[in-house]
């Protein structure tokens, strides 16, 4: 997946380009919108007073600190089966059936939160909490071959490695990539590189022409591609040395081409999450469509690929 991709390959449908250009017409775009953005002080008040109190409660820090809990109630307390909160007790089965599991995805996302908080505020406690999360994930979840544990059930890591999917593997790199962005910790970078190599070397299927969902499933899944970009690649690429940076840029462009070739509908200007484009709209949501356009645009900026930027 290291071959470079030209803009003409990425934009295979002129109608899609025309649609994007129409959206960007001055009649639609409001150039004064930036004047109404919140001030820096408002952003700081937002994170310090409205977001982080939920993420700095003692119960959310884990034991040891960094072993952040997967399930929490609306009041912030971690799930307690002896004193269950109704929002989890009455949740859908896909939530309740997993209450005895601790997921690496949740720990990695929380690690990322602390990294963002430090980036915005300079509060060194937030950086330490991010470090705690990174250290816990690297010590307990990362394996020597670059793979990562998906979850622990009753304290025991899941045994079926073949069931691990590319989305969960990618999200294991989210907290690490934010921490590396902040610190340039070389040991952390090496784990990110091993993770990326493991995914691309073991999950790319030439017959499907994309990253597989798992080693045992041939489901065509948008997030198996997209989440490689948004969890670790886009944040890490600008910091990589050559020739690694150029290799990752080429792989990022390849993912863009896969998403556009396999999941994008020029007719509806939407991305399908799974299956064949144009079939059931149950496999479409605006969130993943917006996310796909957003990260395709960022890849275009990273690679100076004007064709990608015009498409978005």
Domains recognised in the chain with CATH numbers: 7-68+100-311 (1.50.10.10)
pLDDT of residue 30: 65
Q: 32 pLDDT band (50/70/90 cuts)?
A: confident
3-state secondary structure the chain: CCCCCCHHHHCCCHHHHHHHHHHCCCCCCCCCHHHHCCCHHHHHHHHHHHHHHHHCCHHHCCCCCCCCCCCECCCCCECCCCCCCHHHHCCCHHHHCCCCEEEHHHHHHHHHHHHHHHHHHCCHHHHHHHHHHHHHHHHHCECCCCCECCEEECCEECCCHHHCEHHHHHHCCHHHHHHHHHHCCHHHHHHHHHHHHHHHHHHEECCCCEECCECCECCCEHHHHHHHHHHHHHHHHHHCCCCHHHHHHHHHHHHHHHHHHHCEECCCCEEECECCCCCCHHHECHHHHHHHHHHHHHHHHHHCCHHHHHHC
Q: Is the pLDDT at 253 greater than 90, yes or no?
A: yes
Mean pLDDT confidence for 57-70? 96
Q: Is the pLDDT at 173 greater than 80, yes or no?
A: yes
pTM of the shown model: 0.88
């Amino acid at each position: 997946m290291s071959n470079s991709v030209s803009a003409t390959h990425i934009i295979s449908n002129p109608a899609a380009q025309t649609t994007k250009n129409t959206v960007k017409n001055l009649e639609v775009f409001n150039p004064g919108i930036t004047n109404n953005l919140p001030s820096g002080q408002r952003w700081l008040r937002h994170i310090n007073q409205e977001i982080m109190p939920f993420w700095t409660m003692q119960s959310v820090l884990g034991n040891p600190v960094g072993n952040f809990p997967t399930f929490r109630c609306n009041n912030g307390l971690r799930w307690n089966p002896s004193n269950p909160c109704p929002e989890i007790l009455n949740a859908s089965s896909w939530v309740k059936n997993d209450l005895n599991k601790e997921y690496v995805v949740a720990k990695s996302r929380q690690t990322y939160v602390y990294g963002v908080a430090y980036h915005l505020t300079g509060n060194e406690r937030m950086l330490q909490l991010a470090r705690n999360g990174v250290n816990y994930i690297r010590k307990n979840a990362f394996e020597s071959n670059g793979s990562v544990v998906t979850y622990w059930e009753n304290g025991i890591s899941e045994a079926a490695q073949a069931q691990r999917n590319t989305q969960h593997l990618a999200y294991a790199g989210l907290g690490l990539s934010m921490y590396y962005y902040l610190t340039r910790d070389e040991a952390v970078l090496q784990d990110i590189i091993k993770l990326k190599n493991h995914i691309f070397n073991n999950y790319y299927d030439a017959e499907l022409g994309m990253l597989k969902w798992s080693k045992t499933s041939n489901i065509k899944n948008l997030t198996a591609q997209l989440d490689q970009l948004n969890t670790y690649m886009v944040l890490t690429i600008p910091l990589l040395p050559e020739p690694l940076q150029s290799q990752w840029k080429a792989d990022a462009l390849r993912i863009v081409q896969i998403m556009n070739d396999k999941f994008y509908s020029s007719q509806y200007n939407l991305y399908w999450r799974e299956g064949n484009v144009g079939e059931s709209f149950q496999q479409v949501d605006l969130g993943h469509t917006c996310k796909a356009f957003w990260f395709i645009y960022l890849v275009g900026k990273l690679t100076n690929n004007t064709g990608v930027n015009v498409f978005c």
